[in-house]
Chain A
Amino acid sequence: MSAKAPAHSGTRERAVWELLAKVLDPEIPVLNIVDLGIVREVRHEVDGRMRVAITTTYSGCPATEVIRVMVRAALDAGGFTDAILEERLAPPWTSDWLTPAGREQLRAFGIAPPEESVSRPRQLVGAPQVTCPRCGSRSSERISEFGSTPCKAHYRCRACGEPFDYFKCL
């Protein structure tokens, strides 16, 4: 289990974090939503119910609704049928919220993880240099800034010749 609950979490909160770490992104089915960084908060409310706050990556991402249904199903299956599922907009998600484990899962799946950080905005100008997830070469070129899902761009490795997806920096 790569996803970790915050240190101060109680037993029930930890149980919910564990459940959520088994919910996989429907578009990238090796990445769980905790490592994707879209679970904002798990809180044990005073009335005994659990509150789960999730956010979206891109505002038009069609996976959002599927994820909401999957989270609800996971909570139900785990016995948290009265849990409150909240969608939280602020602060907006950025690719900085991907966990190190999430980045590794992406790479292993053949998707290059984000190279830059939005906290270093100067890096955002122009096409970034991306490491090929297959052969590890730094020599790659961008084919298109837009790919098969809103979060990905299309690249090609100059060393091994393979095209690959790059998880963009937002």
Chain B
Amino acid sequence: MSATAAVRGARDAVMEEAHCRYVLRLADTSLVLGQRLSEWIGHAPALEEDLGLANLSLDLVGQARLLLTYAGELEGRGRDEDALAFLRDAPEFLNLTLAEQPNGDFAHTIVRQWLLDAWQLEVYGALEHSSETRLAAIAAKALRETRYHHRFSSGWLARLGDGTPESHGRTQRALDELWRFTPELFAPDEVDERMSRAGIAPALAALAPRWSTRIDADLHAATLTRPATQPYPWHGKRGVHTEHLGHMLAEMQHLQRTYPGAHW
């Protein structure tokens, strides 16, 4: 192998790893958020919202399955969607830190959902036009579902925010608590930058203002106040998580860890 070929080979390997990690981040964010929403089943404030949250959860887990399967193929180590979902430890999960935050009260869940729905709208909206056809196809499918997820979450945000003093107070409190996780949504690292230079993924910096505009419009309708942006210490997408993810995974992975290879 010539020196140039060796350099090219190394560069390809770096790109392949970045590609896999990029897809895994999208997958894990959907999977973790979907798992969180499923914790509401049987506990939501009304039957309609129980069904609504379960439906959103199903969509997110469905999107995660498509993405995990793809990440497993890109990785090339023979791990399928189940191996990736059920047999990785917390530091190997690359979801956004916001997605793993506990459900809290209904307002808390709605604010978390709405912040991430608005993020997925931008990310999938851009990926739908990616030159990378497999990712574009998954994004196009997910985007259609994300649109009604956002309709659900922004609708509830407005009803709670512009509701009673109690619901307004709880929703504003949830927003104040969760806002600190939002800088991570648009903070690019070397994986994002490699993908965007390769024309596969959008530049996150370009998406942030669109997200921000949507967030402000929804907050206005909900009579809520946008909190001040805080420094960015969260690194879920690099595998550094809050304590909550491990507890969630313990429940999610319990069956496969106890009975490896168990099938329906």
Contact of B59 among A59, A89, A144 (CB under 8 A): A59
B135-157 near A? 1/0 per residue, CB < 8 Å? 01110111011001001100000
* B15, CB-defined interface residue at 8 Å: no
B140 nearest CB across to chain A (Å): 5
* A154, CB-defined interface residue at 8 Å: yes
Contact of A58 among B34, B52, B59, B134 (CB under 8 A): B59
B62 A145 Cβ-Cβ under 8 A = no
A115 nearest CB across to chain B (Å): 15
Scan residues 32-89 of chain B and give those whose CB is less than 8 A from a CB of chain A. 34, 48, 51-52, 54-55, 57-63, 65-66
B106 nearest CB across to chain A (Å): 15
Contact of A154 among B34, B48, B54, B141 (CB under 8 A): B48
A143 nearest CB across to chain B (Å): 7
A89 B66 Cβ-Cβ under 8 A = yes
A90 B140 Cβ-Cβ under 8 A = yes
Main SS of chain B's interface residues? helix
B58 A62 Cβ-Cβ under 8 A = yes
* A117, CB-defined interface residue at 8 Å: no
* B133, CB-defined interface residue at 8 Å: yes
In the complex, A90→B127 CA distance in Å? 13
> A91: which B residues are within 8 A, CB to CB?
140
* A146, CB-defined interface residue at 8 Å: yes
Main SS of chain A's interface residues? loop
Given contacts A145-B152, A146-B52, contact A60 B62 (CB under 8 A): yes
In the complex, A61→B55 CA distance in Å? 9
Given contacts A60-B59, A60-B63, contact A92 B52 (CB under 8 A): no
In the complex, A156→B134 CA distance in Å? 40
In the complex, A3→B38 CA distance in Å? 37
Identify the closest chain A residue to B151 (Cβ): A145
A43-83 near B? 1/0 per residue, CB < 8 Å? 00000000000001011111000000000000000000000
B157 nearest CB across to chain A (Å): 15
B52 A59 Cβ-Cβ under 8 A = no
> B66: which A residues are within 8 A, CB to CB?
59, 89
> B65: which A residues are within 8 A, CB to CB?
59
A89 B52 Cβ-Cβ under 8 A = no
* A19, CB-defined interface residue at 8 Å: no
B221 nearest CB across to chain A (Å): 14
B108-143 near A? 1/0 per residue, CB < 8 Å? 000000000000000000000000011011101110
From B51, B57, B133, residue with most partner A Cβ within 10 Å: B51
From A58, A60, A62, A94, residue with most partner B Cβ within 10 Å: A60
Identify the closest chain B residue to A88 (Cβ): B137
* A110, CB-defined interface residue at 8 Å: no
Given contacts A58-B145, A60-B62, contact A146 B140 (CB under 8 A): no
Identify the closest chain B residue to A121 (Cβ): B147
* A150, CB-defined interface residue at 8 Å: yes
8 tightest Cβ-Cβ pairs between the two chains A and B: A60-B62, A60-B58, A59-B62, A144-B48, A90-B137, A89-B137, A146-B52, A92-B141
Please report A residues at the B interface, Cβ cutoff 8 Å: 56, 58-62, 89-92, 94, 143-148, 150, 154, 170
List 15 A–B pairs whose Cβ atoms lie within 8 Å, in order of A's numbering: A56-B141, A60-B34, A61-B62, A62-B58, A89-B134, A89-B141, A90-B137, A91-B140, A92-B140, A92-B144, A94-B144, A145-B151, A146-B152, A147-B51, A170-B148
